[in-house]
Amino acid sequence: MQKTDLLSKKINQSERIRWFKSGAKEGPVLVLFAGVHGNEPAGLKAIDAISEKMNSSTHPFNGTVYAVTGNKQALELGVRYLDTDLNRLWEIFNTSKETPFLNGINTPAEYSESLEIKKVVDAILEAHEESAREFIFADLHTTSSQSCAFILLNDTLENREIARKFPVPQVLGIEENIHGTLLSYINNLGHKALGFEAGAHEDQRSIERSEAFLWLLMHATGLYELGEAETEKLGEKLQAHPNVPKTYYEVRNHKYIEDPDFFEMISGFENFDTVKKGTPLAYEEGLLIRAPVSGRIFMPLYQKEGHDGFMIIREVPEYWLKISGYLRKSFLHKYLRYLPGVSVMNEQSYRVNRTIARFLVKEVFHLLGYRVTEKDEDTLVCHKR
Ligand SMILES: [Zn+2]
């Protein structure tokens, strides 16, 4: 038996793989994650629905699809997570940082879940590295507020290229505010990765939208060709509210909360609702929190689980994206080190002293494709994506 066949056999015996389907070997490999949050079953239902339909069809299939189950223990209980968020701990695999729970004391249940998922991802990559044209990953989620469907992506040109094939709002650069997501981990391995948010947790339409997204994704990546009428019909299922333009958005503000028990979002906000600076949004430990900037409210937290209270996003003008696409391929990178207040950390990263470089620092680094995180009040760390 060949090495790749042996590997495939190992993968297919893993209980993490819900199902897989393979056709022509040289096609793309698509890896779908669902149920990474245990209270979001819509993605799993959609994944099972497409499997059933594909099994009863003789339509040609080019490549391989794997469906991977997320947080098994949390799914059984119907909770977001048991000990820690499975979609916030992936930084431990990207860095050599000592993890607080590696010594076995206080090891969260999610650590073993993440190890198993990582093993499956490694095995899939190894099994297909020689034959596959490319790897594409997608992670299916739903939200605690009412919402139209949208895509989350780390802002790389490769991710943008695939994401723009879907007629839904696209939110860029979430990785600067939310760390350790599964998709960031995959991006750091060098592969395309999209997050699809289908709508509210318990909304039947969230299942339908997830399913429409999956068919369109298989079509867009060349795995399963659909006719024009069919793609149009599926696209219509994903349509946003008429007052939410299907364009790009970036995060302007992120409200992190220590303890969701002491956080109360004011009721009635839907995802993407416009808010003016100063609008009352929530209470934290009894204190009123107002919108610090104008924009659209994003992922307001209406459950007592999770640490992201809300975000405020704003549309990114199309020309800005075009300029940044051009600049990322340009030679300007090598001049960054000469800017005042900028010092080189390593080949991929710069440190920026904000007391010296005050204006437009984030914008310049964003344009050139860097992820910008705040190290402290005066320091930004900019890392090439
Ligand atoms: Zn989720």
CATH superfamily of 3-238: Zn peptidases (3.40.630.10)
Question: Which amino acid appears at position 107 of this protein?
Answer: T
The helix (H) or strand (E) run that includes residue 207 is helix 204-220
Q: What is the mean pLDDT of residues 13-41?
A: 91
| 138 CA from centroid of ligand 1 (Å) | 13
Res 129 pLDDT > 80: yes
Which residues touch 48 (CB under 8 Å, ≥6 apart)? 18, 19
| 359 CA from centroid of ligand 1 (Å) | 35
Res 315 pLDDT > 80: yes
| 37 CA from centroid of ligand 1 (Å) | 5
250-315 shares the fold of 3-238:
no
Q: Which of 104-108, 234-238, 264-268, 272-276 has the lowest mean pLDDT?
A: 104-108
Q: Where are the domains positioned within the chain?
A: 3-238, 250-315, 324-384
| 306 CA from centroid of ligand 1 (Å) | 10
The percent of residues above 70 in pLDDT, for the chain, comes to 93
Higher pLDDT, 317 or 63: 63
Please give the backbone phi and psi of residue 231, each rounded to the nearest 5 degrees, phi first. -60, -40
CA distance 174 to 193: 13
Strand 342-346 vs strand 308-315: parallel, antiparallel, or unpaired? unpaired
pLDDT band at 3 (very low <50, low <70, confident <90, very high): low
Res 15 pLDDT > 60: yes
Q: What is the mean pLDDT of residues 184-210?
A: 94
User: b or e along 208-235 (b: 16 or more beta carbons within 10 Å of the residue's beta carbon)?
Assistant: bbbbbbbbbbbbbbebbebeeeebeebe
CA distance 94 to 182: 11
| 315 CA from centroid of ligand 1 (Å) | 23
Provide the pLDDT for residue 272.
94
Q: Judge contact between 374 and 344, C-beta under 8 A.
A: no
Q: What is the pLDDT of residues 142-195, one digit of tens each?
A: 999 889 999 999 888 889 889 989 999 999 888 888 889 999 999 889 899 999
| 173 CA from centroid of ligand 1 (Å) | 17
Res 8 pLDDT > 80: no
Side-by-side strand order, sheet with 280-284: 263-265, 280-284, 287-290
Q: What is the pLDDT of residues 75-119, one digit of tens each?
A: 999 999 999 999 999 988 876 555 666 556 678 999 999 999 999
Q: Judge contact between 153 and 171, C-beta under 8 A.
A: yes
Res 353 pLDDT > 90: no
Q: Can you tell me whether residue 26 is helix, strand or coil?
A: coil
| 266 CA from centroid of ligand 1 (Å) | 21
- Give this prediction's pTM: 0.86
pLDDT band at 4 (very low <50, low <70, confident <90, very high): low
Res 239 pLDDT > 60: yes
Strand 308-315 vs strand 295-298: parallel, antiparallel, or unpaired? antiparallel
| 145 CA from centroid of ligand 1 (Å) | 12
Res 322 pLDDT > 90: no
CATH code that applies to domain 250-315: 2.40.50.100
Cα 306 from chain centre: 16
Which residues touch 43 (CB under 8 Å, ≥6 apart)? 34, 35, 140, 141, 142, 196, 198, 210
Mean pLDDT over each residue of the chain, to the nearest integer: 88
| 113 CA from centroid of ligand 1 (Å) | 15
Res 35 pLDDT > 90: yes
